[in-house]
Homo-oligomer: A and B are copies of this chain.
Amino acid sequence: MRIAILAHEKFPDGAKTATGVLRYGTHDVVAVLDRDRDGERVADCDASLPDAPIVASLSELNEPLDALLIGISPIGGGFDESWRPDVRAALERGCDVISGLHYFLEDDSEFRTLAEEHGCELWDVRRPPTDLGVADGVADSVDATVIATVGTDCSVGKMTTTFELVAAARERGVDAAVVPTGQTGIMAEGWGYPIDRVVSDFAAGAVEELILERGNDHDYLFVEGQASIAHPAYSGVSTAILHGSMADELVLCHATDRERFHGFSQALPTISDFVALHESLAAPVGGSEVVAGALNTRTVDDDAAADAAVEEYADALGLPAADPIRQGPDAILDAVL
C-alpha cells in the first residue's frame, strides 16, 4: 500500500505515529507532509528511519497513492483545520484516509461526503467496533506462546520494544507477530483494537479476541502493552490487557528519566515492586512471569552511561535487560524464546 504521512510542523520528534509507521509499518511511504520541512528528506531528520521525501502538501505529490495517514496527534486529539486541504485533496483523488485522532473523520460531513463521492474509505483507528464482548478467560487456549510488553509508565517504549522483538525474532526465522493495542501499532499492522477506547467492560474481551484470532497462526504473539498497572489514570487499561491476553511472559519496559508517572505527582514503585505486582496480579488469571526488561535510555547521551543504566536495571530486575534501540533486542529475545 502506497501512503503519504501527514506530520505538519511536528516531524520527526513530535510525530510519534509518523515515525512509528515509517519504522514498523509494511507500507510503501511515498512522502511525508510537513510544511516546515518542505524539500528535506526523512533520512536527514533521523538517519535510522527509512528514507522518503518531505513535501509541503498533498497537492505536490504526483505519484499514485492509496492512502493518506494522519501521523500526528495533538494534545486532546483534535483535528487541525490547517490539515483540511490535504485530507480533501487525498479524498478527491480517491485515496483512503487513516486517522488515529479522537476527532472522527467519519463524523465530518465534508469528508464523509467526499469519501462517498470518490469511493474511498475513512478509517478512524481509535473508533473500536461496536460488537465487542466480554472476555471468557480463555486466551491461554491458543497454540502460540504469548508475550506482552508491560510498563512502569506511559511512553517508556512498549510499542517500540514489541515491534523490535518481532523483527528480531523474524530475522532468526521465528514465526512471530504483533498484537497491536494502540493507534500507531494498529496503523503499522493494519489490524488491532485501540484498547484505551474500548468500553471498560469489554477491554479484556477485545484483547482476548485479538489473541484468539491470530494465536494459532504463529508460534509467538507479542502483545503491545499500554500504560502501567500502577498508573493513576490508565491502570484499568493495562490490567485489562494483562488479564485479557493471559500472557505467558512479560517484558517490563522502563525509561531512564522516569521517577514519577509522567504528568502526575505519584512516584513510580521500585523495579522489584513492579515485577512482584505484575506477577501477583497476573497469577489468578494467566499466571504471567516477567522474563526480561527493556530500558529506554534516550535521555542518556553517553553510550557507556547508557550501558551502565541498563546493567543497573537488569540488576534491579534480576533478569536480562537491554535498550532495544541502542543495544538491540537480542538479550531480551534470548530470554523470551
A residues with CB within 8 A of B: 134-137, 195-201, 203-205, 229-240, 242-244, 261, 264-269, 273, 276-277, 280-281, 283-285
Q: Which residues of B contact A240 (CB under 8 A)?
A: 200, 235-236
Distance in angstroms from A248 CB to nearest chain B CB is 16
Residue among B200, B230, B232, B267 making CB contact with A200, cutoff 8 Å: B200
A198: chain B residues at CB < 8 Å are 199-200
Distance in Å: Cβ of A229 to nearest Cβ of chain B = 7
Q: Given A230-B284, A281-B230, A284-B269, A264–B196 Cβ distance below 8 Å?
A: no
- Residues of the B chain whose Cβ atoms lie less than 8 Å from the Cβ of A266: 137, 284-285
CB distance from A125 to the nearest CB of B (A): 14
User: Do A204 and B230 touch (CB < 8 A)?
Assistant: no
A244 surroundings in chain B (CB, below 8 A): 233
Indicate the member of A233, A234, A236, A284 with the most B CB atoms within 10 Å: A236
12 A-B pairs, CB-CB below 8 angstroms? A135-B233, A197-B201, A198-B199, A200-B237, A201-B233, A204-B233, A233-B244, A235-B242, A236-B236, A266-B284, A273-B283, A280-B280
**Residue on B with the closest CB to A286?**
B232
Of B135, B229, B236, which is within 8 A of A232 by CB?
B135
Q: How far is the CA of A235 from the CA of B208 in the complex (A)?
A: 14
Which chain B residues border A261 with CB–CB below 8 Å? 137
The residue of chain B having its C-beta at the shortest distance from the C-beta of A276 within the complex is B280
